A and B are shown apart, each in its own frame.
Chain A
Amino acid sequence: MDNGASSFRRFLDGEEEAFNEIMEELFRGLVFFINGYVNDVHAAEDLAIDVFADLIVHRHRYHFKVALKTYLYMLGRSRALDYIRHRKVLSFVELSEAETVADQMALEEMMLADEQKRLVHEALNQLPNELREVVHLVYFEDMTYEEASKVLKKNRKQVDNLLYRAKRELRAILRKDDDLLK
């Protein structure tokens, strides 16, 4: 599995169908990742579409030096931070809040089919942003430390430290929840 790189090569060679494979493989994950920043599933979806459109428009900017997934998540993160800064850039279809919440839950269900993952994700939401980001990339997106460090624009050692702190805090949160359940 090369996280879409081979499909992208085929797409560059003119096989348009290969792009659908990339979308199938990476789109929902990217929406979920961006949603972690913007906390609005529709905005996240719109931003993810923008990221993929960017990939097509500037197709030769991707040099296959990092995994396509890492590259897309790097673009996605910067788009999300940009969006948070401006909060106005894109036009969305107005939806009722209930619909938005339902979509958010649907996305989480899709991404967190595993119960254990879901529990961890809930605990994750209580963590500070940068700890949540790094855990999400490494444990939910199966990225290596190097890939995560590229997406987050940090060095390997910083990612290491963040993960250590995140695990310690997660453990404390999960233990507390466990005690409450008992």
Chain B
Amino acid sequence: MRDIKDCTAEVFRRSENRIKIRKQRRMQVVLYVIPLMVVVFSIAALRLPVTQDQSPDENIYTSLTEDTLFIPTSGTTWMQSIDQLEIMSQGELVCYSDPDLIKKVSQIINELMTDKTGSAIISGPTGDIGKELYGTRGDADYTTAEVEHYIRFVLQDGKSALYLLRGNKLANLPTDCVRTLTSDEANELKNLLGIKPVD
């Protein structure tokens, strides 16, 4: 049997060896991982601007602020200052600048979102845009599967009027106003916007 001092020396020798091995392993990991990370980040950095151009984030409209949003009024003057029409569905953005199309779409939407007296509807029946659009969880009409189409009119002063068409429901997002369209109204609007009906 070994003397206790020899054993202590052996303990220190083994522990030093193990610490050395651990350090070497850590260094190896660092040596492999850092270049790998650099490569991955470089590829990501190069790819990111390209993918951003190709498929804009569907939530870009949520970043619109009060300063950049325009709330359509009862009149039709705002329609004359529309520069561009954008339709975004499932991450795909389509821009229209044809004045005839813009005029037709804006007129239809303006009529749909205006009450009998001619003034703009400013709030939904329940006051809750989520309930209006999606129904209430547990209700028969509750669904999250419908495709959403964002309709944005870009005005000359840079402001935007923003609508959401979901199934047969049309919402004016800044005012939280939701209108249930008849199937004829919905089809007419979808045809104009080039939206194919879902089977």
A57 CA to B19 CA, complexed, in Å: 6
A50 CA to B12 CA, complexed, in Å: 10
Residues of B within 8 A of A27 (CB): 4, 7-8
Q: Is B119 an interface residue (CB 8 A)?
A: no
Q: Is A12 an interface residue (CB 8 A)?
A: no
CB < 8 Å neighbour of B15 from A41, A42, A53, A103: A53
A41 CA to B15 CA, complexed, in Å: 21
Chain A interface bracket (under 10, 10 to 19, 20 to 34, 35 or more): 20 to 34
Residues of A within 8 A of B14 (CB): 49-50, 53
Residues of B within 8 A of A49 (CB): 7, 10-11, 14
CB < 8 Å neighbour of B1 from A19, A45, A50, A52: A45
The residue in B1, B2, B10, B14 that gathers the most chain A C-beta atoms within 10 A of its C-beta is B1
Complex interface bits, A152-177 against B, C-beta within 8 A gives 1, otherwise 0:
00000000000000000000000000
Complex interface bits, B67-103 against A, C-beta within 8 A gives 1, otherwise 0:
0000000000000000000000000000000000000
Q: Is B25 an interface residue (CB 8 A)?
A: no
Chain B interface bracket (under 10, 10 to 19, 20 to 34, 35 or more): 10 to 19
Q: Is A123 an interface residue (CB 8 A)?
A: no
A108 CA to B4 CA, complexed, in Å: 16
A45 CA to B7 CA, complexed, in Å: 8
A56 touches B15 (CB 8 A): yes
Shortest 10 CB-CB contacts between residues of A and residues of B: A56-B15, A53-B14, A53-B15, A52-B11, A103-B1, A57-B18, A23-B8, A57-B15, A53-B11, A49-B10
Residue numbers of B with Cβ under 8 A of A are 1-2, 4, 7-8, 10-12, 14-15, 18-19, 22
